[in-house]
């Protein structure tokens, strides 16, 4: 049986993401639902957690642009990098939720092989951000390494894989 991400109605998404119902409703207003779910005998539009996170990130980015009047070129670049990191982080969070929800270790391993690239995408976004501000590299590089080490540890634990010495 193929693994399927869970679909959520607006209220469930608001609860899971810790945002107001109105906030998630506005963010998803123009986003096509990923499917529908039955609740109390009625069908409701539903979205995957990753879809909702991307919509919230896009809404936050639009709000930032509106509030800064577009900002200067360096501001826009920094905001774009921050938006990219937030999007990649949301993808990783959704992936980890999916991984944690899967009880079968073989299916978890398949999920890591098919969807685990989101961790590499987060790493690349973080590295690009650190490289853009060389003065802050000594501060942020150890944090990046720690975050990625924690993520790899979670993957190893979830899949019951072990690292072997080279």
pLDDT tens sequence across 72-84 = 555 667 777 888 8
pLDDT of residue 18: 84
Q: What is the mean pLDDT of residues 81-102?
A: 87
Please state, in angstroms and rounded to a whole number, the distance separating the CA atoms of residues 54 and 33.
13
pLDDT tens sequence across 15-50 = 888 888 888 898 999 999 999 999 889 999 999 999
Strands (E), 19-133: 35-39, 42-48
Q: Which residue has better confidence, 66 or 153?
A: 153
Which residues lie closer than 8 Å to 85 by C-beta, 6 or more apart?
A: 122, 125, 126, 129
CB-side exposure of 20: number of CA atoms within 13 Å?
Answer: 3
Yes or no: say if 159 and 100 are a contact pair by the CB < 8 Å rule: no
Residue 3: both structure tokens together: 């693994």
């Amino acid at each position: 049986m193929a693994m399927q991400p869970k679909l959520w109605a607006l209220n469930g998404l608001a609860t899971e993401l810790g945002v107001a119902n109105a906030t998630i409703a506005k963010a998803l207003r123009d986003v096509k639902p990923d499917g529908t779910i039955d609740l109390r005998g009625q069908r409701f539009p539903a979205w995957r957690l990753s879809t909702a996170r991307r919509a919230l990130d896009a809404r936050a980015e639009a709000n930032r642009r509106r509030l800064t009047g577009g900002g200067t070129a360096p501001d826009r670049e920094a905001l774009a990098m921050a938006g990219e990191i937030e999007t990649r982080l949301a993808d990783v969070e959704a992936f980890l939720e999916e991984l944690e929800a899967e009880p079968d270790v073989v299916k978890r391993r398949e999920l890591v092989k098919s969807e685990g690239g989101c961790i590499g995408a987060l790493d690349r976004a973080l590295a690009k951000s650190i490289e853009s501000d060389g003065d802050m590299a000594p501060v942020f590089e150890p944090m990046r390494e720690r975050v990625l080490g924690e993520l790899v540890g979670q993957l190893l634990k979830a899949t019951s894989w072990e690292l072997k010495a080279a």
